[in-house]
Amino acid sequence: MGRKLGMTQIFRENGKADAVTVVEAGPCVVIQIKTEAREGYNAAQLGFGKAKKLKSPQRGHLKELGEFKYLREFRLDDTEGINVGDCVDVSLFQAGDLVNVTGVSKGKGFAGTVKRYGFAGGPKTHGQSDRHRAPGSIGAGTSPGRVFKGTRMSGHMGDERVTVSKLEVIKTDPEHNLLLVKGAVPGGKNGLLLIGKAGK
Percent of the chain having pLDDT more than 90?
A: 61
- Predicted confidence at residue 115, as pLDDT, reads 96
Write the DSSP string, 136-153: -----TTTT-SPPTT---
Is the same domain home to 103 and 118? no
pLDDT in tens, 25-34: 978 999 989 9
Please, which pLDDT band fits residue 200 given cuts at 50, 70 and 90?
Answer: low
Is the same domain home to 58 and 34? yes
Q: Supply the range of the domain harboring residue 23.
A: 2-108+165-197
pLDDT at 82 over 90: no
Is the same domain home to 64 and 142? no
Is the same domain home to 37 and 102? yes
Number of H helices, E strands in the chain: 2, 12
Average pLDDT, the chain: 91
- Predicted confidence at residue 189, as pLDDT, reads 94
pLDDT in tens, 3-49: 999 999 999 888 899 999 999 997 899 998 998 888 899 999 999 98
Q: What is the Cα–Cα distance from 109 to 7, expressed in whole angstroms?
A: 24
Is the same domain home to 151 and 129? yes
Please give the tally of structural domains in the chain: 2
Is the same domain home to 90 and 16? yes
> Looking at the DSSP assignment, which residues form a beta bridge with residue 29?
47, 87
Q: What is the Cα–Cα distance from 29 to 50, expressed in whole angstroms?
A: 12
Its pTM stands at 0.82
Is the same domain home to 102 and 21? yes
- Predicted confidence at residue 83, as pLDDT, reads 87
Task: Please report, for the domain that includes residue 26, its CATH number.
Answer: 3.30.160.810
Is the same domain home to 52 and 147? no
Is the same domain home to 102 and 116? no
Is the same domain home to 148 and 49? no
Percent of the chain having pLDDT more than 70?
A: 100
Is the same domain home to 193 and 96? yes
pLDDT in tens, 130-181: 999 999 999 999 988 999 999 999 999 999 999 999 999 999 998 999 999 9
Is the same domain home to 23 and 94? yes
Q: What is the Cα–Cα distance from 138 to 151, expressed in whole angstroms?
A: 7
